[in-house]
Chain A
């Protein structure tokens, strides 16, 4: 019988230290079973405070209407839609890691997938807030659902990409949640079995859905993972594709361009990975998980960042080039005067975007830089800022000078309640993340065990013998006949 778990020693290990299955359980369950640290409490309380400020800001908007924001007739979409697109974009990395990288058999995903998926779900929750509260009359929000009604022929507009968004995002959220939670089941059962306190046993017992770890359970679990991965792979593409349709189906210069769908998806993965880095660089340190989220993981994610950042860069340049090439005076004006021109009212935002998203990630061409934690953290913040500005540039610099110069509006700055709403979503995001990191294992326990004997440092070191075997020896001993 052949060797199923061989991997070249050229590849760095994905689990450092001398680990066995038991040690892995101990290391990953420790933060969940220990009392929260003071640092955790401080972080958690700050997040709750931000959330409270957000709730106040939204309350002001509900009571007094969207007039509390500085939007006007020309700039009808401002911070709110920028924030919406920004958060949805961030919510892409998790499902990419869990679904597409599962299909690609990428072992390194196991170190980061759990936290990334959780982050995805929280980010999508934050994103959803903006269109909902932007409606103004939020009590009529259920109008977006197409259902037989007593309002005569009044139906939702099926031709509108905004409605497609409702379907796309809610589907994405549902599938991501299922994926994340079904992956959690074996780990929750482990926590249940280790629990000493009664309430813990009960809490994790209910949460684990009666998982016993029998072969049958595992079989179904694996089958389910593949089915969900197959379902979510198109979803990773479709969500941001449809968000891009919100803009690209229009005839607004700077919005209507055919490259938007794949370019938005690449940008979303780019920003999602940046947010994963922001969270994990801190999480691995605070929870002492450096042996599971290794420098190798950080480096690989930085590679994804430079790849997607460069794809976005090519898209920016393509868009700019075509604006000129198209010979359309309106399109070219939007780029030349509203964006490239640094002395125009919002020209600076275009250059922040270019600097943060295209120029700065190029530093990751160097291996040393990809493995530098401080730089990684700094870059992840920079990219988050850059990607926020990308959406700001697309939205505001396109609409503030429309086809009618008398309607041009050069002044738009957010009010305190607009900023407060945005801060509030940070509060929501981090409150959820802090709770998650306290009550759930931030690393997929069972999945780490799955790769341990292949990618663990101590196991890889035992591979010397196999590594030395000649090809004929190796293929005779370990090769298996699959229609060879």
Chain B
């Protein structure tokens, strides 16, 4: 079997990614002209909310690729090795969207518009006892430092993991002892990444970037929920690139067995997301305490207050739970390129909608803004991910050919 090691970016791929980025820029420009440049602070906030939702969502999704690598490395999983370079390439997007996201977060925090982050309005906080109480955590200095460190650490540790993987390309490991040492080294760095991941994605990051939009509200589940949402979307993104590369004649050693297992991850973590979604929703509904239910009242409403986001809310539950449950349960579905592609796109869209209803009811509680703009912005980010990932794929060999567990992956059976 001959193996094509180098990915050559097809012309059409390049054109599409650039076209999508252009659409994104046009959408941002249009959104700025129609809303961002307005004098009405609510209109301005609508502009920034779109940038916030998209940049945070896509940053967490591409970062999930590195989480996938580290989690499987730490568990000594061998099956992912034949397509390992795919999540590695996706993770190169982290610093790029990281910078964009950082700039947007800074603009929202330090700008004059406080509709999104009420807590950033120092005058207002003085008269708001709840926000005053939280100001030890929700303040501009802390927010900036933690945000900066978070993005920098993800980028650095991701780079380190990729470097470790690349280091074997030219230098095969001859003895079992050397391989053990390499595996050990990999394990240590993955563990470090996971510790940082636990302290950021699974706790502080969603609190600062997203939970603080509804600054009075609180929920201990929030960060784990956000993690589940972006992890399953991250796996879907990996699936898309794997299918794309297979269809263009690359990844010769990846076969239905690997796709099947990626499909299982999409299925399992969709259910896991639902589990966390249900736990958060049901416990708040059951206890019925106004300071907690307000979050859902703003989204789906109650008997005295219609919720503008009701449609989006239930639609995303259907997309993120019912669709994967019913469609991905069958064995054949997880081994079918078309079904996996369709489901991966659906999951990415479903969790994007989830983020939409997490961000927008804060700045725009009474009506759903014109969502077409946000689609445009999202397409821009998709183009960017395609562009940067494509570059990364073309730079490194597509196969981590000297990895100690690669042979296990070649004969992998689900």
Q: How far is the CB of A455 from chain B (nearest CB, A)?
A: 12
Residues from chain B with a CB closer than 8 A to the CB of A248 are 283
Is B220's CB under 8 angstroms from A328's CB?
A: no
Pick the residue among B78, B133, B224, B286 that contacts A327 (CB under 8 A): B133
List A457-484 residues whose CB lies under 8 Å from chain B. Answer: 466-467, 469, 471-472, 474-476, 478-484
Which residues of B220-275 have CB atoms within 8 Å of chain A's CB atoms?
Answer: 220-224, 252-257, 271, 275
Q: Hey, which chain B residues are within 8 Å of A476, CB to CB?
A: 1
Q: Are the CB atoms of A249 and B283 closer together than 8 Å?
A: yes
From B3, B134, B271, A325 is in contact (CB under 8 Å) with B134
Q: Decide if A318 is an interface residue (CB 8 Å cutoff).
A: yes
Q: Annotate B371-414 by CB proximity to A: 1 below 8 A, 0 otherwise.
A: 00000000000000000000000000001010011111011010
State which of A6, A10, A260, A261 has its C-beta within 8 Å of the C-beta of B183.
A10
A268-325: which have CB < 8 Å to B? 310-311, 314-315, 317-319, 321-322, 325
A87 to B398, CA, bound (A): 49
Cross-chain contact A328 with B291 (CB below 8 angstroms): yes
Interface string of B194-234 (1 = CB under 8 A from A): 00001100110001000000001011111110000000000
- In the bound complex, residues from chain A placing their C-beta under 8 Å from that of B198 are 310-311, 314
B286 touching A249, Cβ below 8 Å? yes
Candidate in A258, A315, A317, A328 with the most chain B CB atoms within 10 angstroms? A258
* A471 lies within 8 A of B133 (CB): no
Assess whether A256 is interfacial by the CB under 8 Å rule.
yes
A474 adjacent to B284 (CB under 8 Å): no
Answer whether residue B85 sits at the interface, using C-beta atoms and an 8 A cutoff.
Answer: no
Residue A16 interfacial (CB < 8 Å): no
Q: List residues of chain B with CB within 8 A of the CB of A466.
A: 407
Partner of A9, one of B3, B133, B176, B199: B176
B345 contacts the other chain (Cβ, under 8 Å)?
no
* Other-chain residue from B203, B291, B407 in contact with A6 (beta carbon distance below 8 A): B407
Determine whether A7 belongs to the interface, using a CB cutoff of 8 Å to chain B.
yes
A431 is an interface residue with CB less than 8 A from chain B: no
Alpha-carbon separation in the docked complex, A237 to B274 (Å): 12
Q: With A and B bound together, what is the CA distance between A317 and B220 in angstroms? A: 10
The CA-CA distance from A471 to B407 in the complex, in Å, is 7
Contact of A251 with B220 in the complex, beta carbons under 8 Å: no
In angstroms, Cα B221 to Cα A471, docked, is 45
Within 8 A of B (CB), among A310-361: 310-311, 314-315, 317-319, 321-322, 325-328
Q: A478 touches which one: B76, B130, B291, B410 (CB < 8 A)?
A: B410
Interface residues of B in 293-325 (CB under 8 A from A): none
Judge if A2 is at the interface, Cβ distance under 8 Å: yes
In the complex where A259-B220, A482-B256 touch, is A474 in contact with B407 (Cβ < 8 A)? yes
Q: Which residue of A lies closest to B133 (CB)?
A: A327
Q: How far is the CB of B90 from chain A (nearest CB, A)?
A: 23
Q: Determine the distance from Cα of A76 to Cα of B253 in the docked complex, in whole angstroms.
A: 62
Q: With contacts defined as CB atoms under 8 Å apart, how many contacts are there between chain A and chain B in the complex?
A: 127
A262 to B272, CA, bound (A): 10
A479→B408 contact, CB < 8 A: no
Contacts of A11 in B (CB 8 A): 76
Say yes or no for A241: interface residue by CB 8 A criterion.
yes
Given contacts A4-B411, A256-B287, A328-B291, contact A322 B1 (CB under 8 A): no
Instruction: Enumerate chain A residues within 8 angstroms of B3, measured Cβ to Cβ.
Output: 471-472
Q: Do B256 and A483 have beta carbons less than 8 Å apart? A: yes
Question: Which residue of chain A is the closest to B260 with respect to CB atoms?
Answer: A482
Knowing A10-B404, A479-B253, A482-B255 are in contact, say whether A258-B283 is a contact too (CB < 8 A).
yes
Interface assignment of A157: CB less than 8 Å from any CB of chain B: no
Question: Which bracket fits the contact residues of A?
Answer: 35 or more
Max chain A CB contacts within 10 Å: which of B198, B220, B221, B411?
A: B220
Partner of A2, one of B283, B291, B411: B411
B276 at the interface (CB under 8 A from A): yes
The tally of residues in B whose CB lies under 8 Å from a CB in A reads 55
A247-266 at interface with B (beta carbon < 8 Å): 248-251, 256-262
Interface residues of B in 123-155 (CB under 8 A from A): 129-130, 133-134, 137
Is B180 close to A, CB under 8 A? Answer: yes
* B78: A residues at CB distance < 8 A: 8
| Inter-chain contact A259/B411, CB cutoff 8 Å | no
CB distance B257 to A482 under 8 Å? yes
Q: Any chain B CB within 8 A of the CB of A3?
A: yes
**Cβ–Cβ contact A258 & B1, under 8 A:** no
Roughly how many angstroms separate A325 CA and B133 CA in the complex, as a whole number? 8
- CA A248 to CA B221, docked complex, whole Å: 12
Q: How far is the CA of A70 from the CA of B335 in the complex (A)?
A: 60
Smallest Cβ-Cβ distance to A265: which chain B residue: B275
Given A325-B134, A471-B406, A483-B256, verify A314-B203 contact (CB < 8 Å): yes
Task: Report whether B255 and A8 are in contact in the complex, using a CB–CB cutoff of 8 Å.
Answer: no
Query: Which residue on A lies nearest to B291, using beta carbons?
Result: A328
In the complex, per-residue mask of A228-255: 1 if CB is within 8 Å of any chain B CB, else 0: 0000001001000100010011110000
Contact assessment for B287 and A251 in the assembled complex, using a CB-CB cutoff below 8 Å: yes
Binary interface encoding of chain A residues 1-36 relative to chain B, with 1 for a CB under 8 A from any of its CBs, else 0: 011101111110000000000000000000000000
CB-based closest 4 A-B pairs? A259-B220, A258-B221, A483-B256, A261-B279
Selected A-B contacts with CB under 8 Å, 25 pairs = A4-B411, A6-B407, A10-B176, A251-B289, A256-B283, A258-B222, A258-B279, A258-B283, A258-B284, A260-B220, A260-B279, A262-B221, A262-B224, A311-B198, A319-B220, A321-B203, A325-B137, A326-B291, A327-B130, A365-B191, A467-B176, A478-B410, A479-B1, A482-B255, A484-B255
